[in-house]
Copies of this chain bind each other. A is one copy, B any other.
Amino acid sequence: MRLLALLLLPLAACASVSSSSLFGGADPLPSWNDGDLKSAIIDFVDGATDPESVHFVPAEERIAVFDNDGTLICEKPLYSQLAFMVDRAREYVADDPSLREQEPYRSLIDGTLGKSKDLEPFIKLAIETHTGMLDEEFVAIAEQWLATARHPQFERPYTELVFAPMVELVAYLQASDFQVWICTGGGLDFVRCYAKEVYGIAPENVIGTAGQKAYREVDGRGEFIRLRELVQPINDGPAKPVLIDRYIGRTPILAVGNSDGDLQMLEYVAQRHAATLTLLLHHDDAEREFDYDTGTERALSAAADGEIEVISISRDFATVFAPAR
């Protein structure tokens, strides 16, 4: 198969060309270190795109799903969207100090919010900071924050702290006629604010936790009001296959995640009958990013049992973050 990559066929005539040859024989993943994992990815894409291969997959079934926080973008010390919510909530409290006595603000201020595994305060905080306005107002607020907020440790915009090898993988898959989707527990509209610019992933290819909205027309102009209610289910754990089914309606052949919340998505893809590739990003590089297993124990254990391949940041990433824009 690699021999094919040496043939520089003109694109228009290359119905049976392997994926690598799209890159003219050049390395399609230069931000990844050479090794078994990188070879496995390239072999998988070559097989899926080569009609002569037993692993060939028609283009319309070449669907890849990526988790977002911790998979495409740094998630420590906080998910970027949680940092957004905390900053928003602090503004609300500054405007109205009486909020200090109310949840979820009280837990936020006394620092207990982040220490519990209870999702409820986070959902409350998400609803407080994401609803009660029009869509266009929310988008303006989120875009302003994304443009100005800085990561506390790396002192760069959050959307620059995306993993260069992952962005490269997205582009490689797209060039190989994969549909690349995000499947995130994060907020649909928040992630859509930057997914196209930062990852090259269009709004219609983002699956996320969504809020209910009402549509109304005012003076002949339509607008969406963001309601204080979530579309069920929240897109995490066993809900990820459910929303992949709802939005896509067929099983992806490639999935990438980084936490236990991605485990069912990875297993759902791994148990598909045809050849699949499932990848788990392991944060094991304290020097260049972070080193943690918390919240990933079950997924790492499933990977050790086979089927899921582990991407090690320290071993597999030649560079970690994208260059400054």
Contact = CB atoms under 8 A, between A and B. Distances in A.
A188 B212 CA distance: 19
B192 A216 contact: no
Residue among A192, A204, A250, A271 with most chain B CB within 10 A? A204
A246 B232 contact: no
Interface residues of A, number: 40
Contact of A238 (B192, B215, B249): B215
A264 interface: yes
B206 A249 contact: yes
Interface string A179-221: 1000000001100100000000011101000101111110011
A309 to B, nearest CB: 18
A232 B264 CA distance: 24
Contact of A213 (B63, B212, B222, B245): B245
A200 to B, nearest CB: 11
A224 interface: yes
Given A232-B212, A232-B231, A217 B248 contact: no
One complex includes copies of this chain to the number of: 2
A265 to B, nearest CB: 9
A241 B224 contact: yes
Contacts of A231: 231-232, 246
Contact of A264 (B204, B217, B249, B271): B217
Interface in A219-270: 220-222, 224, 231-233, 238-239, 241-242, 245-250, 264, 267-268
9 contacts: A63-B204, A179-B204, A189-B249, A204-B250, A212-B232, A215-B238, A215-B241, A224-B242, A224-B245
